[in-house]
Amino acid sequence: MEYVVKTKGLTKNFGKEKPVTGLDMKIPKGEVYGFLGPNGAGKTTTIRMLLGLMKPTTGTIHIFQKDLRKERVNILKRVGSLVENPSYYPHLTAYENLEALRKILGVPKKKIYEVLEIVRLSDVANKKVKGFSLGMKQRLGIAASLLNNPELLILDEPTNGLDPSGIIEIRQLIKRLPAEYGMTILISSHLLSEIDQMATTVGIVTNGKMIFQDSIEVMRMLSQQKISLKVNNSEQAWRSLLAKGIKADYKDDTVLLSEHSNKKIAEAVRTLVQDGFSIYRVEEEKRSLEDIFLQMTRGGKEG
Amino acid sequence: MLSILQAEWYKLRKSKILFIIFVGPLIGLFLGLTSNLSIDVAINEWYLSLFSMNLTYALLFLPLITGILASIICRYEHQAGGWKQLLALPVTRGKVFIAKYVILMLIVLAIQLLYLGAVYVVGMIKGITDPFPLEIVWKSIFGGWVATFPLVALQLWMSILFKSFAAPFTVNVIFTLPSILAVNSERFGPYYPWAQPFSMMYIGGNTDDIFFVPWDQLLTVVGGSFVLFFLGGYLYFQRKSV
Amino acid sequence: MIKKLLSSDFLKIKRKGFWFLTFLGPFGVVALQMVNYGVRKDYLLQQSDNDWDYYLLNVSTFTPLALVLGIVILTSFMASLENETNAWKQLISLPVSKMSVYLSKFTVLAFLLLISSFILMLFTLAYGVFLDLGEEISYFELFKFSFYPYFAGLPILALQLWIATVSQNQGIPITIGILGVIFTYSAFILPDWMIWKWPSLINEWNEPIINVLLGIGVGCLLYIVGMFDFTRRDVK
C-alpha cells in the first residue's frame, strides 16, 4: 500500500517529559485520517514533527516516500497545514496575509480569491485581521493551508472556535477535498464524534503512544452491539458453542456472541438448550464509540 | 489593594525580572571599574568614582531600563488575553494601574540600592580609604529614584497602549537621547524630565537642599510631568477596551 | 527562494513603523545638531578652524548611539512580528529552508539600516549647507561618518537579531541592547576587541577602516552562528 505519511518509532523528549514515544503512523493515500486523542496526548507534538517544526529525538518520518530530514522543503511544497491556533499578522488585511504566504509559495494571485471564496471570507478580504472573530481567523488559517493546492493537508483541531454552521461547512469541505482533488488529509481532534463524521481511517493516540490505527469500519465494528448470555456454567457453554462453530467470547462469567442477527442468536440459544445449559438472561450490550475510545485511552494510561 | 500588589508580584516573579534587576549593578561595576578619572585636587576619592559612574548610569541606563520594567509588567497581560481575565475579577482598573505602578517603583528602588552596593564594591576594589560620603550618596540614590517617577508613569502608559516591547522602548529612546544634549545646557537641562535622573544624581550639585536640585525644580518639572503622565496613563487605562 | 521571502517580508513590515523608524533615526541625529547649532552656533563655530569637519564630528557623536538603538528596536520589532501570533510555525511550515528565512530577516534589516545611513548622509549634507559652513565640503569625511558606523555595527545587528529571534520574552534582547548602548556610549574606555566600540570608529591605530573590515568579518561570523542556532532550535 502507498503511504503518504509513514513514521517509524517517532519519539520526542523534552527533558524528562516524553510527549511522543515510539509512534508509528501510516496514512494511506486519499484517506481522511482522523488523529484522535485526549488533550495533551501528543497530537500537536507529532504534527509539529511531521512539518519539521520540531526535530524528533529518535525515529523517522517519510512523507510521499521521502525522508523528511533530507527533503523537508520538497515535501512541504506539497503540504498545507494549520497548527493549533491560527497564525496571522494582525496589522495586515486578510488578503495581505495570504499574499505574504503566496509570494513564498509562488502560486498565481487568483488562488487567493479562490481560497477566500472557499472559506467564505471574500467580503472581508480587505479588512485587517486584528478585528476578526476567532472563527474568522480559523477560516483564514484554513484558507492559508489550501493556498498551494496541497496533496497532503494537515489540520490540527480545525473546528476550534467555529460556530455550528462553520463546523458543518468545514466538515463538508474536508469530505469533498479527497474526492475532488485527490488530497490526503490528516485531521486531529479530541472529539470522537467529529472524527466519526469525517474520517475514513483513524489513529488513536494517548500518552504519546498509538493505541489503535485502522479504518473507521474496523473501529465501528468494535462498537457494534454484542449479545451477552448468562448461563449456569458459562465457560463450558462458551466451549460448547465454539465446538459447534459459533463465534463467541468468554468474559466475566458471561458468554458474548459476536454475531447478532436474529437467526444466529436463535441458533446459539437452541444449541445451548439442547446441550442442557440453563439460560438465565439474553441481553443486548451496546457500546458507543465513546465507550471504546475511553476504554482504549484508559488502557493506554495503565500501560 | 494589598492582594492586588501580591498578585502582581506573584505574576512578575517568573518573568526574568531578576536578570533585569541585576543588570543595573553590573553596569555600575563596569562603569566604576573601567573609569580612571583623576584630578590633582584633593577631594574625597569616592566623589571621583561616583562622578564617573553616575554619568552614564543616570543619563542612559536608568531612564531606559524603566521602560523595560514597565513592558515586562504588562507583557503577560497582553499575551493570551490576560487583561480581560484580570479586569473581569472584582478589582477596579484604577487599583490595578496603581498596583502595577507601585511594584515598578519598588523595583526601581531595588535597582538603585543594588547600584549603591555596586558603588561600594567598586570603592573596595579600588582600595579607596577616604570616609564613605553617606549623606551625599543617599541623596544621589534617592534623588535618582524620585526622578524616575514621571518616567515610569509614562512608560507604564505606553506599555499598556502597545502590545510589543519595541514600541514603548522607541518612545523611551526618542525622549532619552536628547538628554545627552540637554544636560549640557543650563537653559534647557533643568526643564527636561528625562534629564532629571542625571541632575538628581549629579553629586556636584547644590547640597543645601534635600536633593541635588532645588525644590521648585523638583516640584515643577518632576512633579508636574509625573502628574501629567500618571493621569494620562490612568485615564487611558480606564477607557481602554480589552 | 530568497527573493520570494524578501518580497514577503517587505509586505509584512507594512504599517508597522519600520520605514518611519528608518527615517526617524537619521533625522533625530541631525535634529540634535539642529538644536545644538540653533542654540549656540557662534560658540560652536569658534571651536575649530574647519567648520565642516567639526560639524561632522558633532553629528557623528550621536550616530553610533542611534545606530545601536535602531538595531535593538528593529530586530525586536522583526521578531515580535512573528512572535505575536506565533507565526513562526506557519512560516517554517512553508517550503522554505530555515536558513533562508533567517537570511531574509537579516537582509531586510541590513537594507533598512543602509537606507538609514544614506538618509543620514543627505540630512547631514543638507543641514551643513544650510549652516553655511564654507565652500570646502569634505565629501569623503561625510561618506565616512555616514556609512562606516553601519558596517562596523553589523556584528551588533547579527547578535541582536539572533537574541531577538530565539527569545520568547523580548525583554531579554532589549535589556541586552541597553547594555550594548551603554557600552557604545562608553566606547572611548572599551578595549578594541569589543564589538560595541566599533561603530564609534575609534581604535588604537586611529584607522577607522579597520573597524569597518572587522565589522564585516565578525558580522558574518556572528550571523552564521546565529543562523545555525536558529535552524537547530524547535519552533514553538
* Contact check, Cβ <8 Å, A105/C81: no
* Contact check, Cβ <8 Å, A83/C89: yes
Q: What is the pLDDT of residue A241?
A: 86
- DSSP bridge partners of A214: A202
Nearest to C73 among B34, B170, B181 (CB): B170
Any chains having at least 3 CB pairs less than 8 A from chain B are C
Report the range of poorest mean pLDDT among A82-96, B125-139, C38-52, C57-71. B125-139
CA angle C77, C79, C80 (to 5 degrees): 65
Q: List chain A pLDDT tens, one digit each, 303 residues.
A: 789 999 999 999 998 899 999 999 999 999 999 999 988 889 999 999 999 999 999 999 999 999 999 999 999 999 999 998 889 999 999 999 999 999 999 899 999 999 999 999 999 999 999 999 988 999 999 999 999 999 999 999 998 888 898 889 889 889 988 988 889 999 999 888 888 889 999 999 988 999 899 999 888 777 666 788 888 888 888 888 888 888 888 888 888 887 767 888 888 888 889 888 999 988 877 677 677 777 777 755 443
Task: Mark which residues 10-39 of C lie under 8 Å from B by CB.
Answer: 17, 21, 24, 28, 32, 35-36, 39
Using CA coordinates, name the residue in chain A closest to C1.
A104
Q: Is residue A172 part of a domain?
A: yes
Q: What percentage of chain B carries pLDDT values higher than 90?
A: 42
Q: Which one of A191, A220, A249 terminates a domain?
A: A220
Chain C contact set for B170 (CB, 8 A): 17, 21, 73
Q: Answer whether A104's CB lies under 8 Å from A59's CB.
A: no
Chain C contact set for A72 (CB, 8 A): 97
Q: Are residues A184 and A253 in the same domain?
A: no
Domain ranges in chain B are 2-239
Q: Which one of A182, A201, A220 terminates a domain?
A: A220
Q: Are residues A211 and A240 in the same domain?
A: no
Q: What is the pLDDT of residue C56?
A: 93
Confidence of residue B55 (pLDDT cuts 50, 70, 90): confident
Domain that holds residue A268: 225-286
Q: What is the pLDDT of residue B37?
A: 63
Residue written as cell 514603548? B168
Using CA coordinates, name the residue in chain A closest to C85.
A87
Interface check C187 vs B, CB under 8 A: no
Q: What is the pLDDT of residue A114?
A: 95
* Start-to-end Cα distance in chain A: 30
Chain C contact set for A70 (CB, 8 A): none
- C102-116 mean pLDDT: 97
Domain ranges in chain C are 2-232
Q: Are residues A42 and A143 in the same domain?
A: yes
- pLDDT tens digits for C207-233? 999 999 999 999 999 999 999 999 999
- pLDDT tens digits for B183-213? 887 778 888 999 999 988 887 655 566 677 7
Distance from CA of C7 to the nearest CA of B (A): 23
Q: DSSP secondary-structure letter at B3?
A: H
Q: What is the pLDDT of residue B42?
A: 66
Q: Are residues A231 and A82 in the same domain?
A: no
C-alpha cell at A2: 502507498
* Contact check, Cβ <8 Å, B61/C182: yes
The domain total for chain A is 2
Q: Are residues A132 and A44 in the same domain?
A: yes
Task: Mark which residues 23-52 of A lie under 8 Å from C by CB.
Answer: 48, 51-52
Report the range of poorest mean pLDDT among A159-168, B28-37, C109-118, C224-233. B28-37
Q: Are residues A185 and A53 in the same domain?
A: yes
Angle in degrees, 0-180, between the axes of helices B2-13 and B62-78, rounded to the nearest 10:
100
Q: Are residues A115 and A171 in the same domain?
A: yes
Distance from CA of A101 to the nearest CA of C (A): 7
Q: Answer whether A205's CB lies under 8 Å from A50's CB.
A: no
Distance from CA of B209 to the nearest CA of C (A): 30
* Contact check, Cβ <8 Å, C8/A104: yes
Confidence of residue C203 (pLDDT cuts 50, 70, 90): confident
Question: Considering chain C, what is the average pLDDT of its residues?
Answer: 93
Q: What is the pLDDT of residue A302?
A: 43
Considering Cα of A164, then A166, then A172, then A174, what sign does the dihedral take?
Answer: negative
Q: Are residues A141 and A252 in the same domain?
A: no
- C81-97 mean pLDDT: 92
More confident residue, A298 or B106: B106
Res. B15: pLDDT tops 80: no
More confident residue, C160 or A241: C160
Q: Is residue A133 part of a domain?
A: yes
Q: Which of C72, C84, C175, C179 should one mutate to test binding to chain B, selecting the residue with the greatest count of B CBs within 10 A?
A: C175
Q: Are residues A205 and A237 in the same domain?
A: no
Q: What is the pLDDT of residue A223?
A: 67
Chain A contact set for C85 (CB, 8 A): 85-90
Q: Is residue A276 part of a domain?
A: yes
Q: What is the pLDDT of residue A303?
A: 38
Q: What is the identity of the amino acid at A137? A: K
The interface pTM score, or ipTM, of the predicted complex is 0.89
Q: Are residues A67 and A138 in the same domain?
A: yes
